[in-house]
Structure 1
């Protein structure tokens, strides 16, 4: 077969990076002794300088389905040689079925917004209850946790004990159990419903619960507008933090490989 141009061999230089300590090449035995510490901080910044990736798994690494990982050697700002398990994505991007997943964002600002919304509803300034509700025996039971989303960010908020007590105290007034002539019978033509003697006590309990919730919200020392602003600021900051993590995972995956001795 004739070729239009004759074949040729080109010499290329390949750089091999060798991990050495004190002038001696690091062995597998020493690599296994390196302490595992996070290279990426919670805020999405580096805790030190990455040196390279070692193509060896020193531990019985837990299989995580599609979550591949590499072991990266790095040096801390204090000069300590360490290693780090770099997964192909941050924990908040892991599937929710992994126990280590941190996909759901939890923060005080979200909790305070839920408590503030409950406070507004209790006082009649919001028409719909902000808490999740279940129906049991014909009455509403509110749940303390609320799951929402802002774009692709899942958020969990938890109401305080004062907010929950006030919500259920309001429920007791708004949805009283009917008092029956016979405890074992539903109201009927033969057994008509009677006024609930507990109504006055329920109203007093509601007033007390509202006073406690009022005091909790007042103790924050900020306006409702500031509560809402703090929530939006927290959401924005968390989205930016997660983006920094994602970018670092991409750049660290491209760190050159290090060779160590047997």
Structure 2
């Protein structure tokens, strides 16, 4: 019966030609023994290493030959010996994705910043509309790119309150523009089929529509203000928060790359068939 492989009875022996073998109690480890090692994540999500790696084995115990390029490492955590599949490139790097583009970064900080940006636009502090309109509908699209930061694209999702406020702003702008046009025409001579009463009636209806749109915008903006005020952060603070989150993600991704660079320096450990 195959012995259990542990950090206490496992050793690495180097032959004269620098071939390193993984042994247990002086005997070379077999595939059956290697498969008994629990498969646990060697590189943590934050890019740090969960233990001490020993080397890799050129063997795929889980029939994973068709998977993305990877190696199976033997590593130590305390008194326990484990194995781990490590992909040659992290999931977020271009080579890991069929589009050959870095995977987008979608943090909560980006969502909060986008809501703050919508409020800045409604209040006139930002000229360009943060949200775009759906092609065949009147509602705004809540998702948008905030551009590239530290080599990857940052995506954000506006809250329902922000989308609603943006919609109400556009409706209010349209009603104000309609009212301005009606006021301009009020100074012109009456048309052939127009009377002073009909003109005044149309102007009155437009004033009511504009006032209603302004009231709805004020209510929507109040809801957005309440959401943003609950965070207790100014627009500049939201911007700084997003920048810090993107920088932290950039550092995390670099740790993943650095960890793989160090793992690639480790030797192959030969085991018996």
Same fold per superposition (TM over 0.5): yes
TM-score by length of 1: 0.78
Confirm or deny that 1:229 pairs with 2:227: no
Question: How far did 1:216 drift?
Answer: 0.8
Report the counterpart of residue 169 of structure 1 in structure 2: 168
Root-mean-square deviation (CA), in Å?
3.1
Report the counterpart of residue 151 of structure 2 in structure 1: 152
The equivalences for 1:84-233 within 5 A come to 84-95=84-95, 97-98=97-98, 103-136=103-136, 139=138, 141-147=139-145, 148-175=147-174, 195=205, 199-233=210-244
Can you give the 5+ residue segments of structure 1 that lack an aligned partner in the other structure? 1-11, 179-188
Can you give the 5+ residue segments of structure 2 that lack an aligned partner in the other structure? 1-14, 179-191
Report the counterpart of residue 4 of structure 1 in structure 2: none
The aligned length equals 235
Question: How far did 1:198 drift?
Answer: 5.1
Report the counterpart of residue 33 of structure 1 in structure 2: 36
**Within 1, Cα distance between the matches of 2:36 and 2:216?**
62
Report the counterpart of residue 186 of structure 1 in structure 2: none
The equivalences for 1:30-69 within 5 A come to 30-61=33-64, 63-64=66-67, 67-69=68-70
Cα deviation, 1:91-122, whole Å, max 9, x if unaligned, reads 110457559x9711111221111111111111
* SS at structure 1 position matched to 2:135: strand
Question: How far did 1:57 drift?
Answer: 0.9
Confirm or deny that 1:242 pairs with 2:253: yes
Does the 8 Å contact 1:73/1:83 carry over to 2?
A: yes
Question: How far did 1:32 drift?
Answer: 2.1
Assess, with a 3 A threshold, how the Cα gap between structure 1 residues 215 and 250 changes in structure 2: closer, same or farther.
Answer: same
* SS at structure 2 position matched to 1:19: strand
Assess, with a 3 A threshold, how the Cα gap between structure 1 residues 246 and 201 changes in structure 2: closer, same or farther.
Answer: same
Report the counterpart of residue 16 of structure 1 in structure 2: 19
* SS at structure 2 position matched to 1:72: strand
Cα deviation, 1:155-199, whole Å, max 9, x if unaligned, reads 1111111111111121222235x9xxxxxxxxxx99x99646655
Assess, with a 3 A threshold, how the Cα gap between structure 1 residues 260 and 166 changes in structure 2: closer, same or farther.
Answer: same
Does the 8 Å contact 1:96/1:103 carry over to 2?
A: no
* SS at structure 1 position matched to 2:71: strand
**Within 1, Cα distance between the matches of 2:239 and 2:23?**
53
Does the 8 Å contact 2:47/2:253 carry over to 1?
A: yes
**Within 2, Cα distance between the matches of 1:166 and 1:62?**
52
- Give the structure with the higher percent helix: 2
Does the 8 Å contact 1:39/1:47 carry over to 2?
A: yes
**Within 2, Cα distance between the matches of 1:142 and 1:62?**
46
